[in-house]
Amino acid sequence: MDFDSSCENKRAANESMLICCMLFISEARNRAVLDLIERAARLDPESVIVNKFEDRVYNRIRFTIVSYVVVDSTGSPIYSPLHQTVLAMVEAAYGAINLELHSGAHPRLGVVDDIVFHPLARASLDEAAWLAKTVAADIGSRFQVPVFLYAAAHPTGRAPDTIRRELGYYTPNFMGNQWAGWTIPEILPGAPDEGPTHVSRTRGIVMIGARPWVALYNIPVVCTDVSTARQIARMVRARDGGLPTVQALALVHGDDSFEIACILLEPNQVGAERVQAEVEMLAAQEGLEVEKGYFTDFPPEMIVEKYMNLISSRRD
């Protein structure tokens, strides 16, 4: 590919084939560390942070980063600025965060806990999966961190919650309802998809996947009884006979409240209003107050719009 055609392809791709990366990092209390990671994301002006969601109780941040993907004459993906941007952010996180010193109300497997790629605009799931596997290979070899692939990035399409259950992700180990340090054996029971089988206690494990858009929706419940909150989550989630395509987890979120943290796998089929109503009904049966839930990110159409506006302003 010559220089002119490469530029033309990039320009066309920039307008129509976009990938969104959700990068979840186990830190939200140290502003200097968060700024360091965000500065790493700005090294390539063609990757744009369009949103971030941080929660000090969970001690967790999610960056939403968007850029384009380039394909060759056969339609195979060959390049995306997101590749090096994500690696730069991961490197900054590993250099600044020690998992053994981390604690929070949200479960996690590593300093860089989860990286998921979603196709936007005219990009396909295959292109998102290619990028996920490319990033995974580099993280495994460069940083010597075990990587577990999921959804479209894995040959069997295994679900992320399957990996998490196998690794004890959902079991609190600190003060009853929180997570602290590293408690999983340093030698993994099974081989990861990339990286070593030995786990660094300071960095942990990372999961990397590619899948269609999912919505993250949290519903606050005024409650002090963990068993009641967990029962509500069980009755909401599909795995235990609740709402189809809904995953839910009860997480402590203050002295007198929990959140029912939901993943809506098919938000156009089972959306936030239905989940909100279900939680309110179940909580009312226990005499509990429920607050209005909230999304932790923009819908995909708005993410594309924000990306286009931000990238245009940079060029101007």
Integer angstrom CA distances of residue 90 from 82, 139, 251: 12, 8, 26
C-beta of residue 151 within 8 angstroms of C-beta of residue 212: no
Q: Which of 83, 102, 106, 118 is catalytic?
A: 106
Cα 64 to Cα 60: distance, rounded to the nearest angstrom = 13
280, amino acid identity: E
Q: Residue 118 catalytic? A: no
Angle at 87 between CA 141 and CA 28, to 5 degrees: 115
Cα 148 to Cα 191: distance, rounded to the nearest angstrom = 9
- Complete DSSP assignment for 139-197: HHHHS---EEEEETTSTT---HHHHHHHTTTT---BTTTBEES--S-SB-SS--SBS-S
238-247 contacts at long range (C-beta below 8 A, 24 or more positions apart): 239/161, 242/278, 243/270, 243/274, 243/275, 243/278, 244/269, 244/270, 245/269, 245/270, 246/270, 246/275, 247/161
Q: 270: exposed, middle or buried (C-beta count within 10 Å: 0-12, 13-18, 19+)?
A: buried
Cα 187 to Cα 200: distance, rounded to the nearest angstrom = 10
Integer angstrom CA distances of residue 25 from 1, 31, 33, 55, 205: 36, 13, 11, 11, 12
How many alpha carbons lie under 13 Å from residue 69 in its C-beta half-sphere? 29
Active-site residue list: 106
